[in-house]
Each structure stands twice: as C-alpha cells, then as structure tokens.
Structure 1
Amino acid sequence: MVDVADALRTYWNDRGPVWIEHRERLDGMLAPLGEAAIARLHPDPGEHVLDVGCGTGTTSLELAQLVGGGGHVTGVDVSAPMLDDARKRAADAGLDNTTFVVADAGAHQFEPRHFDAAFSRMGIMFFAEPVAGFTNLRRSLRPGGRLTFVCWRSPEENSWVTEPGRAVAEVLGPPDPMDPDAPGPFSLASVDRISSILTGAGLVDIDITPHDLPVNIGGGTTDELVRYYMDLLPGTAIPENAEVHVIDRVKAALGAMVERRRTTDGITMGAAAWLVSARA
C-alpha cells in the first residue's frame, strides 16, 4: 500500500522546481487571498508564527516583516527545493527572523506551546490524516494561540481551474472522479468537513467565512500561459504515454481558452475560498 504522506513528499519535491519557475505568476494570483488571511490573523510585533505549507516563502517573508526583529517566523514545507528558494529570498531581503524546516507540518514534532499563531495560504489541505495534522498544529500553539488559513472551496466555484479543465476534457475526455476528501487542493472545500476536522483536533472559536474574488493569472504569450496551465493546474495534466498529436490538441484547446479570456490585464477568472480562523 502506498503511504500517502510519502507520496505527497515525493510529488512536492519532484515538482518543486516547476513551482519555483512559475512563482511570480502564482504569487500574483494568490496574493489577494494571502493578504485577506494575513489581515484576519493580524500578527503583532514580537510574535512567533508558524507558516504551514509555505512553499517558496512569500507569505513567510510578509509575516516576518510584520512581526519584526523581536518576532520570528518558521516556514514549514515538504518540498526541499522550494524551501531552498525561500531561504535565498529571505537572505536577499535581509530577514534574519525566519527559519525554514523541511517537514510534514501534520506530523513534525514542534516545540509544544511555542507559537503565538499558525498560518497557511493554500498549504494546509494536504494532510494525510487531517484531524491528526490539525491536532499537531494545535499542540504547537500556546494556549489561546491563533490559527488562520485560507483554502479553496469546490472546483465548481473556481473558474480558474474549471475552465482550463474543461478545455483539456474536450480532448482527453472527463477525468476520473476524485475522492473529495483525499489530500489535495480541494480537500477542505466542505464547510462541514472543516468544522468537523477542527473540532476533532480540539480547536475552538471556529469561524469559517466565504471569500469570493477575481484572481489574475497575469499576461504573457499564449505559449507561456498554456505551459503554466499544463505544468500546474489540477485537471490539465497529460498522460505520460500521450502521443504527440494528442498533446498538440490539448495545447490548442488551452490556447483557445486563453485567447477567449485574455484582456489587457492578462487572464482574470473567478475564485472562491474559505477564510478560516480558530484558537487552541
């Protein structure tokens, strides 16, 4: 039997360089969501904050600036390549109040009751055992410590993923149904599931608020945008054994979608997320 945590670790380490390559485009898309979550967290100077699934460190650096020299931010992610990039960015920015740890935040043995707050921008939906994972985060928080994160609602509410997915399905056919509760970007799409998991983890004062907004994927050539979709988005992956003419048809379908949606500001689509907060 495949160990889910090991499979996720392998995936994110293998894919890390691709995410680094597309970092600026991804950050541009996710920035409004991260800003909304950071505003809800409201980190204070001097606080110690855990950034879960921090990736290349964009939110960790933002949090580090907010907590200042008297505070500290620990970014944790399973992807060693992305954390190497995060460390370099922190050094370039002169932020010495950051630490980056290669680990599964759902299982890593953090110092108990150490953090004032835990945060995540779209990095907390991948726990193999969600209740155990959030329990581990709760134990890392001081009594009354805050947890704030933003996660996606259902794919059907997010045109940024459904539209390119439909373009690919025109060529490859509909994808196989996925377990909605399996670790992945939409595993916390259900408000009832979020509430059940957080309650089961011993967290209190749970608040789950819908957050809808347009997200901008940026501009560039059609080829650049098609490559971005094929590299990163769920539902746009091409089977490894696909023939060249099939790959060309998928690229053409995505290219047509790009041109339909292109504006002077690039590609803007709808996004739907949950802003979630709770306390230890």
Structure 2
Amino acid sequence: MSSAAPSRTHEWTGASGDNWVLHQQRLDLMLAAFGDAAIAAADVEPGDHILDIGCGAGATSFALAARTGSEGHVLGVDISPQLIARASADAPADAPVAFRLADAATAAWEPAAADLLFSRFGVMFFDDPVAAFAHMRGALKPGGRLAFACWRTPAENDWVRLPMTAIRDLVTPPVTDPLAPGPFAFADRARIEDILAAAGFADIAIAPFDTVIPYGHGATRAAAIDDAVLLASAVGPLSRALADQPDDIRAKAADAVRATFARQPGESSVLINGAAWIVTAKNS
C-alpha cells in the first residue's frame, strides 16, 4: 500500500497524498511485517545499490539503507510530492539514502547500476505493467535482483473484507475490473509470472505471506476501534465507497464498521488478517 500509482498521479499529488502523510504512522505499522518479509527475501548485502519503488514516506528505504550500509545506497522513488517531502525530512543526515519525485515506469535511470529493485505494495498500479517492469529492469545490473510485496485477493485481506462486508446493505460498491491498475491488480499469481517473464525477468519465485495486521491505534481498546474506523474511512476502498454518500449513510456505515471491528481481538490496535505475495526474480 505504498503510493506508487503511475495511472493516478493526480490523486497522489492531492487528497490521497495528504491522507497518506496524515495517517503515515498507522499505515507503516499496518504494513511493517510485509515490508520486513520482502526485505528478508531480497537478500540485501552490504554495498548494494537499491531502487525502492513507491517508497512512500521512506520506511522501507530507511530499513534497506540500514542493511546496505555506508558502502551502498538507496534511492526511494514515489510520485507523491507530499510523501517524498516527508521521507526527505525524516532521513537521517548520515544515512545512505536519497529520495526522488518520479514515475518509476518512465523515469530516466542510470543503466545497469542497481543491484536490487524493491517495492512494498508499489508496483500494482502501472497502466502497462510489462512495459513498466521492462523499463525498470534496465536499471538493474546483469543478474540484479527484484523483490516486492503485493496484495492477494480482497477476500483474503480483512482491511478490505471487513468494512466492505459491514456496509453491503447500505452502499453498493462500484464494479471494478480486477486487472485494472489498483491494489489487487497482482492478486493472480499466474498474472505476476506472465508480466515478469514478458518483461525479461528470470528465476521468478512467488510465495504467500500471511500475517496478523495491527489496524489503527489507541491507548484503550475503544480508542483503537475508533481509530480503525477513522483509518478505514480515510484510506482504502471504504473511503471511496462512501465518498459521495449523504451524511446519514456515512454515519450508519461508520456504526456498522465500528461494530464489525469491535468483534476482532486486540487492545491497542484492532487485529485483522492480511495476505500478500512475496515476489522475487532476477535480471536475465
């Protein structure tokens, strides 16, 4: 759930970028385990030069920089000026990391200079994913590595399933193309394999990763549930489903989502299930 959405640039320079900055700490808490799993699969080595695609506010860039060390370097790339500004402001002065506002699908890269292309939920939004991955592959050294996390299906991810099920009697969600650019465009394992192979990658490996997500945060259980409702209402499919609804429907929806989250375990956060693919490949 990073912000790399080349087909939605206008969103990430506006309200969506603002919302991600506002809720950055909650979202990074939610996504941390997935980023850690993808970093572990990436086999980062001291001295690696890394491109972090859809870096958001920089959490994964900083984690990668800690592993590559002073002999390496991480360039975090995102299309949201708000998130790039936050990442740049939070970067330690001595960290081997920099940030760049750019569309990874078309940006001018130094050819064959990177050891690793990495992304935490930032590669599912390209209008032409084969062309985008082929373009990014040009930045990799021969034998260079690719590692990323992408979501599996909405039905396997409670941050979508729970709130959208809660409001199904109140709001009819719009019909969407499952292959269109968006969070779940890479839910189909076979599609990922086809895209990466067509883009020139080899040794493609795709492994499921399931974990419990801390969703929202609060000093008490009640505050955590309220915060989870706020987060769902601000970022993700629930926010889009309710965007044009009247106040009374929005209030009823919030009550329904609150009741659903209240049935989940957790004290300082609502604990829900999350499901992703961890994908690795090499530059052929």
Q: TM-score, normalised by structure 1?
A: 0.93
Deviations 1:191-227 (A, max 9, x none): 1100000000000010111111211114322432211
> Which of the numbers 234, 238, 247 marks the counterpart of 2:237?
234
The share of aligned pairs that are identical, in percent, is 40
Aligned partner of 1:205 in structure 2 is 203
Which amino acid in structure 2 is aligned with residue 255 of structure 1?
Answer: R
> Which of the numbers 188, 191, 194 marks the counterpart of 1:190?
188
In the TM superposition, what are the counterparts of 1:161-172 in structure 2 within 5 Å? 161-172=160-171
Aligned partner of 2:141 in structure 1 is 142
Aligned-pair distance for 1:102? 0.9
Aligned-pair distance for 1:168? 2.4
Mapped contact 2:12–2:80 kept (Cα < 8 A): yes
Say if 1:238 and 1:272 are closer, same or farther in 2 by CA, change over 3 A: closer
Which amino acid in structure 2 is aligned with residue 166 of structure 1?
Answer: T
Aligned partner of 2:260 in structure 1 is 257
Aligned partner of 1:152 in structure 2 is 151
Mapped contact 1:170–1:253 kept (Cα < 8 A): no
Q: 3-state SS of the aligned residue for 1:145?
A: strand
Aligned partner of 1:120 in structure 2 is 119
Q: 3-state SS of the aligned residue for 1:94?
A: coil
In the TM superposition, what are the counterparts of 1:1-280 in structure 2 within 5 Å? 8-14=8-14, 15-90=16-91, 93-173=92-172, 175-220=173-218, 221=223, 222-280=225-283
Count of matched residue positions in the alignment of Structure 1 and Structure 2: 273
Deviations 1:152-196 (A, max 9, x none): 1111111221111111223113x1221111111100000110000
Distance 1:58 1:110 in 2: 22
Deviations 1:24-54 (A, max 9, x none): 1111111111111101112111110000000
Gaps of 5+ in 1: none
Aligned-pair distance for 1:240? 4.2
Distance 2:144 2:31 in 1: 25
Q: TM-score, normalised by structure 2?
A: 0.92
Distance 1:161 1:269 in 2: 10
Gaps of 5+ in 2: none
Distance 1:153 1:53 in 2: 18
Say if 1:72 and 1:6 are closer, same or farther in 2 by CA, change over 3 A: closer
Distance 2:266 2:258 in 1: 14
Distance 2:277 2:78 in 1: 21
Distance 1:25 1:234 in 2: 17
Mapped contact 1:126–1:183 kept (Cα < 8 A): yes
Aligned-pair distance for 1:6? 6.6
Mapped contact 1:117–1:145 kept (Cα < 8 A): yes
Mapped contact 2:51–2:76 kept (Cα < 8 A): yes
Mapped contact 2:6–2:127 kept (Cα < 8 A): no
Distance 2:205 2:45 in 1: 20
Distance 2:198 2:277 in 1: 19
Deviations 1:82-116 (A, max 9, x none): 000000110xx234421211111111111110101
Which amino acid in structure 1 is aligned with residue 203 of structure 2?
Answer: D
Q: 3-state SS of the aligned residue for 2:105?
A: coil
Q: 3-state SS of the aligned residue for 2:237?
A: coil
Distance 2:257 2:97 in 1: 39
Superposition RMSD in Å: 1.5
Mapped contact 2:51–2:116 kept (Cα < 8 A): yes
Q: 3-state SS of the aligned residue for 2:165?
A: helix
Distance 2:128 2:252 in 1: 38
